[in-house]
Amino acid sequence: MGWALFGLVAFVITGRPGWAIACGVLLAVAVTDLCVIVHRIRQGPHYQPGRDVPPYEPDRGGPGPPEH
């Protein structure tokens, strides 16, 4: 994010709008990605994506998956 912000400012100052736009888009993607990551981290380790996905069974320390 730092390099994208630096590139954005540098290319705006030097009058290169194409490169400034490219750095701006890269900065927007990086900030969006960071926001999604922070949101997912705050949801915690037991996040379930929807009602149609059953909760997972906790690890019981066995050698492998349980046999049914």
Question: For residue range 5-62, what is the model confidence (pLDDT) as tens digits?
Answer: 999 999 999 999 999 999 999 999 999 999 999 998 888 776 666 777 777 777 777 7
Domain assignments of the chain as residue spans, ordered by start: 2-43
No. of H helices and E strands in the chain? 2, 0
The predicted pLDDT at position 8 comes to 93
Render 9-22 in DSSP notation, one character per residue.
HHHHHTT-HHHHHH
**pTM score of the predicted model:** 0.63
What are 20's two structure tokens? Answer: 């400034």
